Amino acid sequence: MRRFKKILKLFLIPIFIFLLGNIVLYVIAFITPKLEIKTANSFSFYDNNNELFFSGNSNSEWVSLDEISPNLINATISVEDKNFYKHKGFDFLRIAKAMYLNVVNRDIVQGASTITQQYARNLYLTFDKTWKRKIDEAWLTIELESHYSKDKILEGYLNTINYGQGVYGIQNAARFYFDKDAKDLTISEASMLAGIPNSPANYSPLVDEYSAKKRQNTVLNMMYSNEYINKDEMDKAYNDNLVYIGKKEKYNLSTLMYYQDAVMNELKEIKSIPSSFLSTGGLKIYTALDLEAQTYFEESMTEQMQNVPDAQTSGVMMNPNNGEIIALIGGTNYVKSQYNRATDSKRQVGSTMKPFLYYAALENGFTSSTNFLSAPTTFTFGTDQTYSPKNFSEKYANMEISLAAAIAYSDNIYAVKTHMFLGEEALVETASRVGIDAKLEAVPSLPLGTNEINMIDFIGGYGAFANLGYKVDPHLIRKVEDIDGNILYESKKTKERVLNKSTVFILNELLSNTYSYDFVDYSTPTLMSIAPKLTNKYAIKSGSTDTDYLTIGYNKDIVLGVWYGYDNNQTINSSESKITKQIWANTMEKYFKEKETSWYDVPDNVVGVLINPITGELSTDNDEKKHICYYIKGTEPYSDTPDTILKDVIGN
């Protein structure tokens, strides 16, 4: 008997301490200030006209529990937390069972988070798997249970949970998937929606209907087990043919979520924004998004990508004068893939690297007329290492060509000769100067774009060409305010001159020749295919590798870059080579159709000269092709002084 009492005491003391501790915690939580659940962690996104284009957990979209279908409520409780109305935030029996199963299976096969715990995490916390986050979550769970009724907690949860496709809250989800109010959801519709929050990226029927149906079956079986529905209702709901609308009431762009995700990534990097939004009670984020530009970009992309369903594309549209990103595409369709290739990917950039090389060349004495021999060449470097680049389709002039022609045709031999003459560090230094942070290798192949660079980083570098020499910081966020309008962050418009204005102007003129009929000769300029579409003057460069195609171009108002390729790095068919060019041309022309834009003014120390575009020499009456190229005054070719200074030094 004494032994029994001793054993009983051993059990009762920890239980008593546990219960007492819980009472103390709940009392402390009760006397602390009440948490505001309708504004915490809410995100309101505004475009460049200060118009709201997305809101998550917004008061205006909040529906009360009696405005939500009982089918949805029952389905959610069944699959997420069947004892929701019986516990005080933690289901300890469920926790014990989950721990047992996870130990037995040596893997996490079952979780035990209650609806209150999930709500606390969604409202105030990140999803980091740290002990601090778990402790914070537990405390917030106690606070919620202390201050709010079960109905209010469930109401808040259903109004803020993620239902996939950038849709938060059950009213928005009902509208998006089925074009109806939350109160009108059937058992079949409710069981489908209730299954999504467990893994929005996998269980949305618009992403993977097979997995979504399996999840719906799980939900229905749990509803049946919990006696919310009978067997006939369960079978009928599963076999119902659901029709998905997949349309938002406003701004129904499939790529818009890529922009929103990019904004959230940038938000996390701003040090003045608290990691927990508990103190701010919601955020209003003012962005540079131009919905017209985003629409044109998506339309152009969709049109060109119809016949290549497995391929992907990404792109960035930026104002070079302040670095604001006005449109962004991270993939062909956010419904199918949430991976943002504009922000998270690094790809080889091909010949779009060459403009940085040629700026360095112009800065170091080259002119539009500087000649090199375009012919198959093997370069020797280092300790008897060799490099033998090839031109596209192995097309060579087999004669000396001008820098102007080399840019128009994207001649690889000319580029590597220039690179080796200047020294391999010159290109690295120029790229760094304009803000390209990628770690570039000073190797002979660098001007042909063999290094991998992020799209936003790269477009930022091109911004220095578009604004005539200023380094800018690409960004999406203009300003962040809390729910009361207090400014937490505001972007500062700072620019630093890093390039020479006149030299950049000359480079921009040379890059406008990539679609000029004056350069149609032994080869064709690389962007001639889009020349008929262009009604404005642009500086444009295309580039390609076996796995990547890019087109980047600009004028003084906009820089636009477009990438095309495959996530698995498969080789691209040559028939796909024009896709980025067409997307680029269509987007830019649509964007400027109703807008005024112009080209750059000629600097005072720059002069235009009519030359033979291939040889770079002054034009004569015998030349069939003539073109005006630009030079710093004093470096232009004269009739009795051809541009031989550098040629004599460099040789062929």
CA-to-CA distance for 561 and 268, rounded, in angstroms?
25
Q: Which residues, 6+ apart, have CB-to-CB distance to 98 below 8 Å?
A: 110, 111, 112
CA-to-CA distance for 153 and 155, rounded, in angstroms?
5
Cβ density class 326-357: b for 16+ within 10 Å, e for less: bbbbbbbbbbebbbbbbbebebbbbbbbbbbb
Q: Which residues make beta-bridge pairs with 539?
A: 554
CA-to-CA distance for 314 and 302, rounded, in angstroms?
12
* Token pair for 123: 């409202």
Side chain identity at residue 282, one-letter code = G
Within 10 A of 423 (CB to CB), how many other CB atoms are there?
A: 13
DSSP 565: E
Residues listed for the chain: 652
Active site residue: 44, 345, 351, 523, which one? 351
Helix (H, G, I), strand (E, B) or coil at 547: coil
* Token pair for 415: 């580029």
369 closest CA partner among 652, 601, 628: 628
CA distance to 467, 471, 481, per residue, from 457 (Å):
16, 12, 27
Please, which contacts does 479-483 make with residues 24 or more away whose CB atoms are closer than 8 Å?
479/285, 479/286, 480/267, 480/270, 480/273, 480/283, 480/284, 480/285, 480/286, 481/283, 481/284, 481/286, 482/280, 482/281, 482/282, 482/283, 482/284, 483/39, 483/42, 483/280, 483/281, 483/282, 483/283, 483/284
Residue 527 class from Cβ within 10 Å (0-12 exposed, 13-18 middle, 19+ buried)?
A: buried
Side chain identity at residue 541, one-letter code = K
582 closest CA partner among 547, 560, 557, 551: 551
Q: Which residues make beta-bridge pairs with 470?
A: 497
CA-to-CA distance for 556 and 5, rounded, in angstroms?
87
Active site residue: 44, 69, 78, 80, which one? 80
351 given a catalytic annotation: yes
CA-to-CA distance for 198 and 204, rounded, in angstroms?
10
509 given a catalytic annotation: no
Active site residues: 80, 351
